[in-house]
Amino acid sequence: MRTIAIMCACAVLLPAMAHANHHNLRKSQIAAVTQKSSFQGTHAWTKLSPSMQQAWLAAEKADDMGRVFQAYARVQGTGGGMGDENFLQSKGFNVRIFSGDVARGSVAAGNLQAVAELPFVEAINLIQ
CB burial of 23-35 (b: ≥16 within 10 Å; e: otherwise) equals eeeeeeeeeeeee
Show the domain range for 99: 42-126
The confidence score (pLDDT) of residue 33 equals 42
Quick one: 66 and 119 in the same domain? yes
Rg (CA), the chain: 23
* Predicted confidence (pLDDT) per residue in 46-61, tens digit: 999 999 999 999 999 9
Quick one: 23 and 51 in the same domain? no
Number of domains into which the chain is organized: 2
Those residues whose C-beta lies under 8 Å from the C-beta of residue 71, and which sit 6 or more positions away, are: 52, 93, 104, 105, 106, 107, 124, 125, 126, 127
CATH number at residue 116: 3.30.70.2980
What pLDDT band is residue 21 in, cutting at 50, 70 and 90? very low
The confidence score (pLDDT) of residue 38 equals 87
Quick one: 21 and 46 in the same domain? no
Quick one: 81 and 94 in the same domain? yes
Quick one: 18 and 49 in the same domain? no
What does pTM read for this prediction? 0.68
Quick one: 3 and 65 in the same domain? no
Q: How far apart are the first and last CA of the chain?
A: 75
The confidence score (pLDDT) of residue 14 equals 46
Q: Could you give the maximum distance between any two Cα atoms of the chain, in Å? A: 82
Residue 13 has pLDDT above 80, yes or no: no
Quick one: 57 and 101 in the same domain? yes
* Predicted confidence (pLDDT) per residue in 87-113, tens digit: 899 999 999 999 889 999 999 999 999
Task: Classify residue 12 by burial, with Cβ atoms within 10 Å: 0-12, 13-18, 19+.
Answer: exposed
The confidence score (pLDDT) of residue 100 equals 87
